[in-house]
Chains A and B, each alone.
Chain A
Amino acid sequence: MWMRTCRSWLSASLLACLVGVSLVFSANGQLRIEIRRGVERPVPMAIVPFAWEGSGTEAPFDVSGLVSADLGQSGRFAPMDERDMVSRPSLPTEVRFPDWQIVDVDYLVIGRIIEDAADRYTVVFQLFDVLGGEQIVGYRLTATTTELRAASHRVADMIFEELTGIRGVFGTQIAYVSEQQEGDERRFRLIVSDADGENAQVVANSPEPLMSPAWSPDGRRLAYVSFEGSQSSIYIQTLRTGTRDRVSARAGINGAPVFSPDGRRLALTLSQDQGNIDIYMLDLATQVLTRLTQHRAIDTEATWSSDGESILFTSDRAGGPQVYRVPARVGARAQRVTFEGDYNARPRISPEGDRLAVVHRVQGNYRIALVDPDTGLTQVLSTGQLDESPSFAPNGALIIYAAQENGRGVLASVSTDGRIHQQIASVAGQVREPVWSPFPRI
């Protein structure tokens, strides 16, 4: 089990897996998450402020505050206000369960931040079942000052998984595009932030449009489309170093890049000289280009099946846009996948591979829907008018997407069971095209 092995590798590997994206610029626009609709009765819990055992009066980072914010923003938990706490235990021996039973919390989290050496901390926490009066789990992890934010997300992830059975995504990242008017110029930025919108870093910055970011499976690189030079090109940029390669700048469209599950190939859309808009596959090591579709219609927005054997894409070969599937080899025939409604586009496959998220038009509204590719059954998840760009969280439990509110581009997320809706508003500018990162590598 993941949780059991967690204990042994955690301290040793935390350093490695907490290394994030390098700081290039600090983004001036942050995101703010707000729950629009949560589960009917979020689970009440208490996260006691972690005790500080070190020099000075307080810890360099509010670990328990971020753990509480993460769990609260998930919509599944209701952490109690710390002002309502009758006692503030930090050691198991200090916990008096009746204190917590009387305020009706189901779970209790206590912890400590210990300064081991200069810029070296150990975070210890324990999760208790209040009713049963017993510890569920306890963990210890180490971090430097700059890693304490990521360590806090990791604590929240472990608690979330223990209580829901679903791997947490608080420690993951999102990439998105922002657009802002600055004087008489528009500024397009490609931004990577933590999943909670904090810690935003500008990856690319241009007066011309940036589009279609896509993560490499190892989470180290982003592919995207840039119109710099008034021509579309596809770039792959390594996040840690900022170095980037232009991998496609052919005549016409260079669009919709997506990495294959093994990270060695890129599916992309090209129109080339003839103007036929088709899906191609580019081998990143050899630069060999393979054409996967050949049709007068628009074929675009490819996504890979989880085994890398086939590609799903949008095509309007039957009139309106619908999703098709084609084996990832030359000369294979494409088969139609979606049939419900007259507009199904931009497919993304769930991490389990069993469902598709698409942009689905219903009564003139563009909404995010889940499609079962075997039965064609379509379930509309979002409620907006211009929702687009769905992207699964790596745990498959959430979908982040772009929406509009009062004519402004915002991000939103919905749980795949449709119960929890969140709005993620940008403080400045318009935001769109969110893509959820893979899990951090272990």
Chain B
Amino acid sequence: MTRSLMMAFLLGIALAGCGGDDATLPDAASTSGPGSTADGGGPGATTTGTGAAGGLEVFREVPGQGDGPLSTLVIYFDFDRTEIRSDFNSMLAAHGEYLASNGNALVRLEGHADERGSREYNIGLGEQRAQAVRRVLLLQGASTEQLGTVSYGEERPAVTGGDDEAYLLNRRVELVYR
């Protein structure tokens, strides 16, 4: 619930940027490029604005919205592993670029584990997962001040259930933009 409120807030910033004076909102693009559509673009589409005229509707991708790489806010991990899977590279690159070009954006990396095994060891796994995501985002240009980490281990599962599907969905790092 808090997350959807936050997203509404971020979306609000983006929309304000669309109609208002872009000079007052450095992180919001107000000009549109030709062909900008509501479904956003690739990893480079965090801001649009090639300066071309056209009167098309302005779109700016924000984390958690749309269906571009920025829309994904959860990274999943293999059992007992803390390395980033290659299928999350483009998504993390998009978030890294977004953070690099939006210096005021803050994100909390919440690491989690599935319920198997001992609890404090799982706190350790969640922390290492959050740290792995943090390192990638730093490499992509995010600054240390923008990134916080916390590990909840197995204490806050995304889904309940004791099958492999539930375990897979619980081994994760959530990007929580603030």
Contact = CB atoms under 8 A, between A and B. Distances in A.
A343 B116 CA distance: 11
A277 B123 CA distance: 10
Contacts of A385: 162
B118 A271 contact: no
Interface string A207-248: 001011000000000000001001110000000000000000
A351 interface: no
A388 interface: yes
A38 interface: no
B90 interface: no
A214 to B, nearest CB: 11
A345 B118 contact: yes
A300 B1 CA distance: 33
Interface string A400-442: 0000100100000000000000000000000011000000000
Interface stretch (B18-26, B97-105, B152-160): B152-160
Interface in B31-65: none
B124 A343 contact: no
Interface in A243-282: 252-253, 255-256, 269, 271, 275, 277
A366 B125 CA distance: 17
A227 B155 contact: yes
Q: Which of under 10, 10 to 19, 20 to 34, or 35 or more describes the interface residues of B?
A: 20 to 34
Interface string A178-213: 000000100000000000000000000000010110
Contact of B127 (A252, A256, A314): A252
Interface residues of A, number: 37
Contacts of B161: 407
B120 A300 contact: yes
Nearest to A342: B80
Given A271-B127, A298-B128, A407-B161, A227 B152 contact: yes
B118 A359 contact: yes
Contact of A275 (B1, B125, B127): B127
Contacts of B123: 211, 232, 253, 255-256, 269, 300
Given A252-B127, A271-B127, A359 B150 contact: no
Contacts, number: 93
A209 B125 CA distance: 17
B121 interface: yes
B85 to A, nearest CB: 19
B1 to A, nearest CB: 8
B150 A346 contact: no
A212 B119 contact: yes
Contact of B150 (A184, A232, A407): A232
Interface string B133-173: 01000000000000001111101100011100000000000
A14 interface: no
Interface of A: 184, 209, 211-212, 227, 230-232, 252-253, 255-256, 269, 271, 275, 277, 298, 300-301, 314, 316, 320-321, 343, 345-346, 359, 361, 366, 385-386, 388-389, 404, 407, 432-433
Given A316-B121, A361-B117, 11 more contacts: A211-B153, A231-B150, A253-B127, A298-B125, A300-B121, A300-B123, A300-B124, A314-B118, A320-B80, A366-B117, A388-B117
